[in-house]
Structure 1
Amino acid sequence: MPTAETDVLIIGASQAGLAAGYYLKQKNVNFRIIGMEKRLGGVWRQRYDSLVLFTPRAYSSLPGLPLTGDPNGYAAKDEIADYLERYAAHFDLPVQLETEVLSLTKEQGKFKVHTRTGEYLANNVIVAAGPFHKPFVPGFREALANDVYQVHTSQYLNPSSLKDGAVLVVGAGNSGAQIAAELAQDREVYLSAGHKMRFLPLQLFGKSIFWWADKLGVMNASVDGKLGRFLSRQGDPIFGYELRALVKQGKIKLKPKTESARGHEFTFQDQSKLTVQNVIWATGFRPDYGWIRIADVLDDKGKPVHHRGVSPVQGLYFLGLPWQYTRGSALIGGVGRDAEYISELCR
C-alpha cells in the first residue's frame, strides 16, 4: 500500500475537520483531511428526515463562509450537508473520502496512520472524528420479541418505517424530543426520560436564545471557569417548547427511566409496565477510539485525555468534543474557535 507524508493529518471530514483545514490553509501548512464517508456531509444526510438544527443559521456557520438563508431561521440536515460540501470546495481543502482509519501509532517521533487504502506519516494528527461513534442501546433490547420494531435514532428516518400502533421513545434529549413530537401527530407516543427535562425557548423577546447566550457570555464560558464548570454538569436542555406543549395536551405520555424489557413489555423505574409495537432508542452514542494505539491518550473509560483538545502526546490533538473548552465546542458555530487554537499549535 502507498505511503503519503504530510505535516498535519486531520482524521474526520465533517465540520470540525473542515474548520481545522480552513485555519491550516491560512498558514500555508501542508495538511490533508481524511474521512470515511463517500460524500462530504454524509453523516448529516443519513440522519432522520425531519432533523432541524436548534441553533439559528446566524450561529451555525464555520469560519470564513456564512451559511446562506434567513439568519434567524433554522437549517435542516441536508442544508448543512450541502453547506459542508460547498465549504470544502470554496476553500479548496485537500479532502480524501472513503478512507477508514484502522490504527494510529507513533514511531520515532512520527505518527503512522494505517487505513484501508494506504498509510500516512505525519508530524501532527488532529482527531476530528467527533464524539458520536457507536450507537448505544441497552443490553436488555435482546430480550424483546422479534416482532417488536426497534431502531436507534442513527437509523431512524421517518414515521413510515414504523409498524402500526403505539411507540415508545427511550431517551429525552433533543433528538428524542424532536422524534417524539413528529410521531405524536398521528399515533400514541410514550417518552421515557431518565432525568428531569429542562426546556429553553428558541426565542426570547424577539431574539434567539443563542443571541442571549452569546451576549451574556454563556457560549464562551470556558470549562476552566466557574460558570463553565457549572454549565457542563447540567446536561443539555431541550430547545423549544413543542414537546412540553404536546405533553400538556396528553399527546405524549411521559414515563420514567426504562429499566428492562422482555417480550412485548417494558418496565420502568417506578415499576409501571407498558406494551408497545415500536421502540425508538434515543439513547445516544459511545466513543470508540480503540484504533488509537498510543499510551496515555485515552482514560480508563476510553475517552480522550486532553486539555482544550491538547493530548499528553506531543503533536496529537482532538477537536469537536462536547465541552472541549466551551459550550459551543461541539456545535458548528463554535468549533471554529477550538480549530483556530489547535491549528496554532501544529508545528
Structure 2
Amino acid sequence: MTPDPIQIASSWLQQYGYSLASGDSEGTASCFQPDGFLRDILVFTWNNRTLKGHEKITAYLGDTLRSTCITAVELETRHGLVPESGGFHAQLISPVAETVSAGFTFRCKVGRGQGYFVLIPTDAGEWKAISVMMQLADISGHEEWILEEGVYGGHTLSWTDVDRERRQAIEKNPYVLIVGAGHTGLNLAAKFRHMNIPSLVVESNLRVGDNWRKRYPTLTLHTPKVYTELLYQSFPQTWPIYAPRDKIADWLEQYVQSQDLVVWTNSRPLPSPTFDITSRRWTVVIDHAGQQVTLNPAHIVVAAGAFGEPNIPVIDNKEAFGGPVMHYADYNGAKPFAGKKVVVVGAGNTSADICQDLSFHGAESVTMVQRSATYVIAVTSVREMLEPLYHEGFGTDVADFRLIAQPMGLLQQKAKQSEALLLEQQKETHKGLREAGYHLITDQSLFSLFQGGYGGYSLDVGCAELIRSGKVKIKHGVEVARLGENSVVFTDGSSLEADTVILATSFKSIRDKMRGLFGDEIIDQTSPVWGLDDEGEIRGCYRPSGHPGLWFAAGEFFTSRARTKQLALEIKAIELGLLKL
C-alpha cells in the first residue's frame, strides 16, 4: 500500500513533540534512526550544530532540552512544507527509498521556531527520522517585519524626509558595520533592516557592483536564476537562466535603492579597530571618500567574500619575462592576446573560462597548467541537480529552508550515492579529457569539494571540448618554477614558449587578509573561515568567530541568503542580553 504521508508525519510528530515538551532527551533521540541527524540552529544553543546518532543526540539535549521549553509542535501548512512522500528527500537516502518529509512549527523559551524532518521506515516497519532540523525563526517581541504601510506621520511626512532621517541616524550610530557590498553584505543589510538592526555597509569600490564589473567580461553564474536571487526580491520573469557579470553588478546596485539600504561607497575601515570589553563597542575609523569618520558599532561583520588578496605563487626570474604576468583579478578579456602564446596556471572554473575566451579570440596557443587533478561536470548537470528544489512551484524562501534542513553529512551521503550516475553522464567528456592529458577527480563529489575548500572543480560550459580537440593544451602535474625572456620553465625541467602568463590561482583567505586591518592578536582568536568542522558545519561563518563583536559572512548566493537570519538573530540576542560572548 502507498504510505499516507499525513498520517505518518502526524503520528511521528506527536511522539516527537511529546518527548520535546517533556524534556525527555532519550525519548527524543528514540524518534531517530540509529544513524539519524539532528541539526540545531539557535534552538538549544546559540550556535549551529549537527549531532549524529542516539548517543550524541541524547547527550547534546541532556543539559538544555528542559530549559528550552519546547511547546506547540505542529505540522506546517505552507505549500512545499506539508507532508509528502518521496521526491527530493527520497533521493537523499537512495533512489528507491521510501520517505516521508514535512515541515513543522513550535514555540520555545525565547520565541518561535520552525523545523523539518525526513522519515524512513525501520526494518520493523516503524517510521523514524533520518534527519530533523530545528531552527529559531524569531525572538518574541522582535519579529522580522516585511511591509510598512507607506504612510508616515498620519500622512503628514514625505517618504523623502523619513528616509533621510533614518539614514542620518544610521550613519551617525550604526549598531552593525558591514564590510563589503557584494551579494553577501547586501543580503545581510536587508535582513538586518527587517530585524530593526541599524546597519551601515562600507564598500571600497566606487560603485556597488564593481566587484563584479572588474572581473573578466565573459563571466556568468553557473547556477540557475532561482538559486541566485537576493532576499525579498525575485528576478524578473525575463531574467536569463545564467546571469552575466554586468547584469549581476547592476542588480546589486539597484538592490541598494529598492531595499533602502545605507551604503557608503569609496569607503573602507582603516587599521586598527579596537574593541572595548566594557562598553562592548568598537572604535573604528572609516575612510569615507577621503574623509575620516570615527564610528562605534557593537559589531563588525566582514562580508568581503570567502577570499581576500590574490594568491600569487612564487615564481623565480619574473622580471626577466618579456610579457605580462597577471593574476586573473586583472584579466579584462582576451582581445589584447590575439596572436599570442598564453600559459594559464590553474584548472578550475576561472581558468576554463579564460582559456575558452583566449581560444575564441584568436590566441596563437593556449596552455592550461593543471597542477593537480580537477573535478569536471557539465553545467547542465548542476542545473538538473538543483531543479527538484529550486523551481517555480514554491518560493525561494521555502526552497532554501528545505535545503538548509539537510545536514551536510546526509548531503554528502547523497553525493556519494549519485556519483556513479553523474560520472556516467560525463563519460564521453571525461574520456576526451583523459586522452588530452587532463587528470580528473572521481573519488570526491562536487559537493564535498565546494563545502570543503571552495575549489578543485570546473563546471563545464565549453572548455572541455576545446581541450579534447587540442585547441587548449594541457600541462599536468607541475608548477611554474621560473620564467625566461619568452618562456615558462616548469618544476620537471620542461619549458614552453610564452608571451603571456595568467595566474588563475584563486585568492587567499579573507581571514588572513583581515590581519592587515585588525592585527594578529584579534584574528588569532577567530576560527578559520570556510571548510567544514567535525560536525559538518561551515567553519567561522554566520556563527561566533571567537572574538566578541567580530563576525565573518561568506558563500555563494544560497549560503549568504539562507544564513543571514541566523546571524541577525545572534546579534539581536546579544542586544537583548540573551546571548553573551
Structures share fold, TM-score greater than 0.5: yes
The match for 1:259 is: 480
2:386 counterpart (210, 215, 218): 210
Q: Is the 8 A contact 1:150 1:279 kept in 2?
A: yes
1:287-312 alpha-carbon deviations (Å, 9 max, x no partner): 31121147353379986973644211
Alignment map for 1:180-259 (pairs within 5 Å):
180-185=355-360, 186-187=362-363, 188-204=365-381, 207-211=383-387, 227=412, 230-231=448-449, 232-233=451-452, 235-256=455-476, 257-259=478-480
Tell me the distance in 2 between the aligned counterparts of 1:337 and 1:301.
Answer: 21
More moved, 4-13 vs 173-182 = 4-13
Alignment map for 1:1-80 (pairs within 5 Å):
4-68=172-236, 70=238, 73-80=241-248
Tell me the distance in 1 between the aligned counterparts of 2:462 and 2:405.
Answer: 27
The amino acid across from 2:207 in the alignment is R
The match for 1:147 is: 322
CA shift, 1:316, in A, is 1.9
1:152-185 alpha-carbon deviations (Å, 9 max, x no partner): 1111111123363211110111111101011112
2:311 counterpart (108, 118, 136): 136
RMSD of aligned alpha carbons = 2.9
Tell me the distance in 1 between the aligned counterparts of 2:545 and 2:264.
Answer: 25
1:242-282 alpha-carbon deviations (Å, 9 max, x no partner): 12111111111101232312213223354432111111111
Q: Is the 8 A contact 1:130 1:319 kept in 2?
A: yes
* Gaps in structure 2 of 5+ consecutive residues: 1-170, 391-398, 414-446, 531-538, 576-581
Tell me the distance in 2 between the aligned counterparts of 1:333 and 1:236.
Answer: 20
SS at match of 1:100: strand
1:200-220 alpha-carbon deviations (Å, 9 max, x no partner): 122249x544336869x8877
Tell me the distance in 1 between the aligned counterparts of 2:339 and 2:469.
Answer: 22
Mapped pair 1:342 → 2:567? yes
Q: Is the 8 A contact 1:259 1:268 kept in 2?
A: yes
Identical-residue share of aligned pairs (%): 23
Q: Is the 8 A contact 2:181 2:201 kept in 1?
A: yes
The match for 1:311 is: 545
Tell me the distance in 2 between the aligned counterparts of 1:241 and 1:230.
Answer: 21
The amino acid across from 2:524 in the alignment is L
CA shift, 1:81, in A, is 0.5
SS at match of 1:251: coil
The alpha-carbon distance between structure 1 residues 300 and 315, as it changes in their structure 2 partners (threshold 3 A), is closer
The match for 2:494 is: 272
Tell me the distance in 1 between the aligned counterparts of 2:185 and 2:316.
Answer: 34
More moved, 271-280 vs 36-45 = 271-280
SS at match of 1:19: helix
The alpha-carbon distance between structure 1 residues 24 and 83, as it changes in their structure 2 partners (threshold 3 A), is same
Mapped pair 1:105 → 2:274? yes
Mapped pair 1:89 → 2:257? yes
CA shift, 1:69, in A, is 5.0
SS at match of 1:154: helix
CA shift, 1:13, in A, is 1.3
Q: Is the 8 A contact 1:16 1:336 kept in 2?
A: yes
SS at match of 1:52: coil
More moved, 182-191 vs 124-133 = 124-133
Tell me the distance in 2 between the aligned counterparts of 1:306 and 1:129.
Answer: 14
Q: Is the 8 A contact 1:213 1:219 kept in 2?
A: no
The amino acid across from 2:235 in the alignment is L
SS at match of 2:546: coil
More moved, 100-109 vs 142-151 = 142-151
How many equivalent residue pairs?
Answer: 334
The amino acid across from 1:310 in the alignment is P
The amino acid across from 2:518 in the alignment is I
- If asked which structure has higher relative contact order (CA below 8 Å, sep 6+), I would say 1
The alpha-carbon distance between structure 1 residues 141 and 173, as it changes in their structure 2 partners (threshold 3 A), is farther
TM-score by length of 1: 0.86
CA shift, 1:53, in A, is 1.1
Which structure's residues are more often helix, by fraction?
2
Tell me the distance in 1 between the aligned counterparts of 2:353 and 2:376.
Answer: 13
1:223-247 alpha-carbon deviations (Å, 9 max, x no partner): 5778299443474421125121111
The amino acid across from 1:172 in the alignment is A
SS at match of 2:387: helix
TM-score by length of 2: 0.53
SS at match of 1:80: helix
CA shift, 1:6, in A, is 2.0
The alpha-carbon distance between structure 1 residues 147 and 307, as it changes in their structure 2 partners (threshold 3 A), is closer
The amino acid across from 1:66 in the alignment is S
CA shift, 1:4, in A, is 3.7
CA shift, 1:34, in A, is 1.2
The amino acid across from 2:302 in the alignment is V
The amino acid across from 1:295 in the alignment is E
Q: Is the 8 A contact 1:201 1:209 kept in 2?
A: no
1:292-339 alpha-carbon deviations (Å, 9 max, x no partner): 14735337998697364421122321111xxxxxxxxx1123311121
1:281 counterpart (495, 498, 503): 503
Q: Is the 8 A contact 1:111 1:121 kept in 2?
A: yes
